[in-house]
Structure 1
């Protein structure tokens, strides 16, 4: 379900109409109340930004995040992710490694430089050794998730990089 806004031209108060995702950006004063699939999100949930250029991966990882008790926001590329990061705080960013414009490592570098305290997990389907060699000792990436991964692997990785479990970050 797309985000909703009140239509002020209707005589009936409270009438609501969908907003296209092409022109909708959340504001700091109005955090999203629903995930991309329309599920109501708990206001206590930790906020996660999920970044991947594959819409199917975005949808799947977003649903996994909801199952783990997080409030996900999705971005289709690093440029959009940087925009969302300027509009609000995210406890964690889970980003694909191989993306156009800004790859996951470059995104992680910018996040660490400008958004103190935000953890970054890179997910990738590339050769583990190749990616580990690039990321090893950089201090930029907090964790690595190898695709394909399941809900339990995602939970374990998040618990390893985070100081606490959902609902306790930013409380």
Structure 2
């Protein structure tokens, strides 16, 4: 594993949330095993006052782009989907329509009944919408800090939210803008 360049790291001596200095080690030697894009090993601490979890050290402002150089948000959208993939999307659209009052199409009228019976698919669907409330108060405004390529923003907008986002990764932001997200 290639380490993060030492001169490009900043020390975090206080909790970024409550500014308390007391902390305990939550996890040591963490690696990016999900996206495989951030080099190095990391230590995650937990503040003993507010329980916020945070890394120390962290990449500095000048080097943070290194973590995103091969990130999933830089890929293009899939050009075509298989028949099972389209069926799954039809079911998901109906599930979202039933729970969020949206009118996504195409949809299959079975989705609202079938997806709740399949816990793994239901959990994935709920995670896809980041567990947004089903009956949000009006106006339905959503801010996504760290929006990446705008996948979630696009879905939230389709579900009726006034969704906007911001991200530090210029390549992901450009992709999000090209697809029409705010």
- Superposition TM-score tier, normalisation by shorter sequence: under 0.3
TM normalised by structure 2 equals 0.25
Highest relative contact order (Cα 8 Å, sep 6+), 1 or 2?
A: 1
TM normalised by structure 1 equals 0.26
Q: Which has the larger radius of gyration?
A: 2
